[in-house]
Chain A
Amino acid sequence: MKKLLIAAAAALFALSSAASAQTIRIGTEGAYAPWNFVNDSGQLAGLDIDVMNELCKRAGLECTVIQTAWDTIIPNLNAGNYDVIAAGMSITDERRQSIDFTADYSPPEASAFMMQGGTTIDFNNIKGLRIGTQGGTIQSAYAEENLADGNTLISFDTADAALADLSAGNIDVILADHSYIMETVAGSGGALKNDGPRIPIGDGVGAGVRKADTELRDKLDTALAAAKADGTIDGLIKKWFPERGEGPFYPH
Chain B
Amino acid sequence: MGDDIAFWWGYLTNGKHLSWYASVHYTLIAALLGGTCALFFGLGGAGLRRSRFAPFRLIGAGYINMVRGIPDVLFFLFFPLAFEQLVELIISQSACPPDVVATNAGTWPPCTAANWFLSSTEYLILAGVSLGIVYGAFTANVIAGAMNAVPMGQLEAGRAFGLTERQVFWRIHVRQMWVYALPGLSNCWLLLIKSTSLLSLLQIVDIVRWADRLGAPNFSRAAGLVHGDWRWGYYLALLLFFILLTFLSEKAFAALTRWAGKGMTLGSAAG
Contacts and interface: CB of A to CB of B under 8 A. Distances in A.
Contacts of B164: none
Contacts of A17: 113, 117
B117 A81 contact: yes
Contacts, number: 113
Interface of chain A: mostly helix, strand, loop or mixed: mixed
Contacts of B265: none
Chain A interface size band reads 35 or more
Contact of A189 (B108, B226, B229): B226
Given A9-B87, A41-B14, A240-B222, A80 B109 contact: yes
B90 A10 contact: yes
Contacts of A240: 222
B219 A79 contact: no
Interface stretch (B15-23, B51-59, B187-195): B15-23
Contacts of A20: 117
B231 interface: yes
A27 to B, nearest CB: 11
A13 B119 contact: no
B221 interface: yes
A105 B196 CA distance: 40
Nearest to A212: B112
Interface residues of B, number: 40
Interface in B69-96: 83, 86-87, 90-91
Contacts of B225: 40
Given A163-B217, A167-B217, A42 B222 contact: no
Given A5-B83, A40-B223, A183-B222, 16 more contacts: A9-B83, A10-B91, A17-B113, A20-B117, A37-B223, A38-B213, A40-B225, A46-B222, A80-B112, A158-B216, A160-B217, A164-B217, A167-B229, A183-B219, A186-B219, A191-B228
